């Protein structure tokens, strides 16, 4: 790596994002209120128009149907902007009470739109194949044929439209409300933490960043404080998780869905055979993961590997990456594959689409949200001036690029599944880390980069798998009744023991409150919000391997693949653009083998430097 560009004597603070150009004034913006009021009026009009929509798709009714479908799509795009904007507001300021109230208001409007969605689904399902095919051939809707046909198919798996509408309405003040309560609980936790003789009041997100410290005593103290903080909120978190889970299971029962995996698989446009093939291949990597961690323990000088050691840095690469420097490196490494990707990332950075400032009062974690109506995105993160933050920036810029590729695509065809949503983000990470590794000559710098690279599969094959196992166990027990807080702790530890296969110290190495502290367990937009990350990583790895072989010639093919992600099943995307069958073992075996290819090099380097 060119250390002249990455060693900073004075690290500049990361920037705040630009929300003023979207709606000036934050959650209290007059323009934003007018925008929401207009959506509400248009939704009411749409409800009346739907009531007058002919129930039979006769030739004379086709124009009326198409007009309604396009208006339905337009409302969805406007609601997407309304929701993304207020999400940004309450993320940058968790105590934004008006923002939280508006979030609930927008959720109510989304519920109304979803009711129209369900009504359309039911109407679609009643039409003959002949009439449906004729409608889908119309030039005004042909680009959204796949999502519309998917709606028609899914309607056959749901309750009667009026029951689906009732469930959606109840979910706003029930199901989704528990998620909003959890966000508030998490956002309001502050902890006094002492470091270098100075006591700071930190959010849980800032405290979690301490797990990246090279000083184990800091990591350990931060972890103890982290568990103490969450222990004080665990009873509330357990209530939220149980009621969310109970809502889902009641809905599934009434839809006659036999498995809690039915919904996440449908949302991912994925077959269960594909998911099983992936996890089967992942299990084969555990010996390599153990070998990697044993070598890392040598470097860290520890004999017990604990939860807070997962992201402990190794090597002696002490450079600090300012946000500006990190952005420059991301653009540089992307440019070696695609000029368009590099130019897009530079534009996003220059236009302040990224919120990176490290300050109290922000929400935990990071995300990229699309502002489709404006053909823009916004990225939320808390930048920490290290290599991990640089890869996070690259990751989120990948999401934003994916959205950019689809900016001229009709809104309904931009809704790609979660597994494929991780493809562009992880592709970016692989591009940046591999490119950086090729430039490194110093052994200590190389150690750090190899460790950063291997932390990815370690986290996705062990940490993420533990989340999947916990979810599966939780839903199995929740079907029998409420799962108590102490039992949730037990289920979490059992899941970690299986997923990490003895890597974590059995006496003090587990994070029993991970179920409470991890936002993803409370994310009501998507159940089992875990396996798509592993899927995305491995799928992106397969795409990346192809890109490495074909070079810049693959860039337009890559773009075309991303453009199809909202218009095909996951297996169809893989077959068309990579020529592979995801339900078979061979793709996944090759992908996991490629993901651990640096383990032996890392171990050899550790031994040579000890």
pLDDT at 5: 38
pLDDT at 439: 81
Q: How far apart are CA 478 and CA 500, in angstroms?
A: 24
pLDDT at 378: 98
pLDDT at 10: 54
pLDDT at 17: 97
Q: CB–CB of 291/599 below 8 Å?
A: yes
pLDDT at 7: 38
Q: Rounded mean pLDDT of 490-500?
A: 97
Would you place residue 509 in the very low, low, confident or very high pLDDT band (cuts 50, 70, 90)?
very high
Task: Tell me the fold of 190-232.
Answer: Helix Hairpins (1.10.287)
Q: How far apart are CA 298 and CA 285, in angstroms?
A: 20
Would you place residue 388 in the very low, low, confident or very high pLDDT band (cuts 50, 70, 90)?
confident
Q: What are phi and psi of 576, to 5 degrees?
A: -70, -45
Q: What is the mean pLDDT of the chain?
A: 93
Q: CB–CB of 606/447 below 8 Å?
A: yes
- For 268-307, how does the pLDDT look when each residue is reduced to its tens digit (9 = 90+)? 999 999 999 999 999 999 999 999 999 999 999 999 999 9
- For 95-146, how does the pLDDT look when each residue is reduced to its tens digit (9 = 90+)? 999 999 999 999 999 989 998 998 999 999 999 999 999 999 999 999 999 9
Q: How far apart are CA 165 and CA 547, in angstroms?
A: 45
Q: How far apart are CA 572 and CA 560, in angstroms?
A: 13
- For 536-562, how does the pLDDT look when each residue is reduced to its tens digit (9 = 90+)? 999 999 999 999 999 999 999 999 999
Per DSSP, which regions of 372-512 are E strands?
376-380
Given the structure tokens 């090759």, which residue do they identify?
Answer: 590
Pairing of strands 198-203, 190-195: antiparallel
Q: How far apart are CA 141 and CA 137, in angstroms?
A: 7
Stated as kind and residue range, the H or E segment containing 371 is strand 367-371
CATH class for domain 234-316+452-610? mainly alpha
pLDDT at 387: 79
The answer, yes or no, to whether residue 572 has pLDDT greater than 50, is yes
Q: Rounded mean pLDDT of 153-181?
A: 89
- What six digits make up the tokens of 180? 């909003």
Q: How far apart are CA 83 and CA 50, in angstroms?
A: 24
Given the structure tokens 């044993």, which residue do they identify?
Answer: 294
The answer, yes or no, to whether residue 2 has pLDDT greater than 70, is no
The answer, yes or no, to whether residue 3 has pLDDT greater than 50, is no
Query: According to the 3-state scheme, what is the secondary structure of 113-174?
Result: HHHHHHHHHHHHHHCCHHHHHHHHCCCCCHHHHHHHHHHHHHHCCCCCHHHHHHHHHHHHHC
Q: What are phi and psi of 260, to 5 degrees?
A: -65, -15
- Domain range annotation of the chain: 26-181, 190-232, 234-316+452-610
CATH superfamily, domain at 26-181: Oligopeptidase f, N-terminal domain (1.20.140.70)
Stated as kind and residue range, the H or E segment containing 193 is strand 190-195
Q: How far apart are CA 80 and CA 85, in angstroms?
A: 9
CA–chain centroid gap for 410, Å, is 22
Beta bridge partners of 202: 191
User: Between vectors from CA 229 to CA 227 and to CA 230, what angle results, nearest 5°?
Assistant: 65
Q: How far apart are CA 196 and CA 269, in angstroms?
A: 50
Q: How far apart are CA 286 and CA 123, in angstroms?
A: 49
CB-CB neighbours of 314 under 10 Å: 20
Burial of 385 (0-12, 13-18, 19+ CB in 10 A): buried
Top pLDDT among 204 and 388 is at 204
Least confident among 203-207, 352-356, 467-471, 569-573? 203-207
CA–chain centroid gap for 181, Å, is 20
Q: DSSP letter for 484, please.
A: P
pLDDT at 8: 40
Least confident among 35-44, 258-267, 384-393, 599-608? 384-393
Q: How far apart are CA 517 and CA 535, in angstroms?
A: 23
Q: Rounded mean pLDDT of 174-202?
A: 90
CB-CB neighbours of 568 under 10 Å: 19
Would you place residue 316 in the very low, low, confident or very high pLDDT band (cuts 50, 70, 90)?
confident
CA atoms in the 13 A half-sphere facing the CB of 97? 0
CB-CB neighbours of 191 under 10 Å: 16
- For 220-278, how does the pLDDT look when each residue is reduced to its tens digit (9 = 90+)? 999 999 999 999 999 999 999 999 999 999 999 999 999 999 999 999 999 999 999 99
Q: CB–CB of 210/133 below 8 Å?
A: no
pTM: 0.85
CB-CB neighbours of 268 under 10 Å: 24
The answer, yes or no, to whether residue 318 has pLDDT greater than 70, is no
């Amino acid at each position: 790596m060119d250390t002249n560009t990455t060693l900073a004597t004075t690290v500049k603070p990361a920037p705040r994002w630009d929300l003023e150009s979207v709606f000036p004034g934050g959650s209290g913006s007059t323009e934003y209120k007018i925008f929401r009021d207009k959506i509400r009026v248009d939704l009411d009009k749409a409800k009346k128009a739907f009531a007058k929509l002919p129930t039979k798709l006769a030739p004379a009714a086709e124009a009326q149907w198409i007009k309604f479908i396009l208006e339905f799509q337009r409302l969805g795009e406007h609601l997407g902007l309304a929701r993304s904007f207020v999400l940004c507001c309450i993320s940058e300021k968790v105590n934004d009470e008006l923002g939280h109230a508006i979030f609930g208001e927008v959720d109510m409007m989304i519920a109304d739109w979803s009711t129209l969605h369900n009504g359309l689904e039911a109407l679609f399902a009643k039409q003959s194949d002949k009439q449906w095919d004729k409608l889908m051939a119309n030039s005004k809707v042909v680009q959204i044929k796949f999502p519309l046909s998917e709606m028609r198919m899914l309607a056959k798996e749901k309750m009667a439209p009026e029951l689906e509408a009732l469930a959606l309405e109840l979910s706003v003040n029930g199901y989704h409300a528990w998620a909003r309560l959890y966000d508030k609980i998490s956002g309001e936790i502050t902890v006094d933490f002492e470091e270098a003789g100075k006591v700071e009041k930190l959010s849980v997100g800032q405290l979690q960043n301490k797990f990246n410290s090279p000083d184990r005593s800091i990591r350990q103290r931060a972890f103890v404080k982290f568990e103490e903080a969450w222990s004080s909120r665990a009873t509330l978190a357990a209530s939220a998780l149980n009621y969310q889970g109970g809502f889902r299971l009641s809905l599934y029962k009434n839809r006659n869905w036999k498995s809690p995996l039915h919904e996440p698989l449908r949302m991912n446009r994925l077959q269960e055979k594909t998911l099983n093939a992936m996890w089967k291949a992942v299990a084969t990597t555990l010996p390599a993961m153990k070998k990697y961690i044993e070598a890392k323990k040598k470097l860290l000088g520890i004999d017990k590997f604990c939860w807070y050691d997962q992201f402990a840095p190794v090597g002696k690469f002490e450079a600090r990456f300012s946000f500006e420097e990190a952005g420059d490196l991301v653009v540089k490494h992307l440019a070696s594959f695609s000029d368009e990707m590099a130019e897009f990332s530079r534009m996003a950075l220059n236009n302040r689409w990224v919120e990176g400032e490290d300050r109290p009062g922000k929400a935990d974690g990071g995300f990229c949200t699309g502002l489709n109506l404006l053909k823009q995105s916004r990225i939320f993160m808390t930048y920490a001036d290290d290599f991990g933050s640089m890869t996070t920036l690259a990751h989120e810029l990948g999401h934003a690029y994916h959205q950019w590729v689809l900016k001229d695509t009709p809104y309904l065809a931009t809704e790609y599944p979660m597994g494929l949503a991780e493809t562009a983000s992880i592709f970016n990470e692989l591009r940046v880390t591999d490119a950086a590794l090729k430039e490194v000559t110093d052994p200590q710098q190389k150690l750090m980069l190899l460790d950063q690279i291997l932390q990815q599969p370690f986290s996705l094959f062990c940490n993420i798998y533990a989340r999947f196992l916990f979810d599966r166990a939780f839903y199995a027990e929740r079907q029998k009744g409420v799962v108590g807080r102490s039992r949730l702790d037990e289920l979490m530890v059992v899941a970690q023991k299986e997923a990490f296969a003895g890597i974590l110290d059995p006496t003090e190495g587990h994070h029993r409150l991970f179920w409470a502290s991890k936002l993803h367990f409370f994310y009501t937009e998507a159940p089992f919000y875990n396996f798509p990350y592993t899927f995305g990583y491995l799928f992106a790895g397969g795409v990346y391997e192809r890109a490495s072989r074909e070079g810049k010639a693959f860039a337009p093919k890559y773009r075309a693949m991303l453009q199809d992600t909202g218009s095909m099943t996951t297996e169809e995307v893989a077959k068309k653009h990579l020529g592979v069958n995801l339900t078979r073992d061979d793709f996944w075996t090759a992908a996991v083998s490629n993901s651990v290819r640096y383990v032996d090099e890392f171990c050899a380097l550790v031994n040579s430097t000890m």
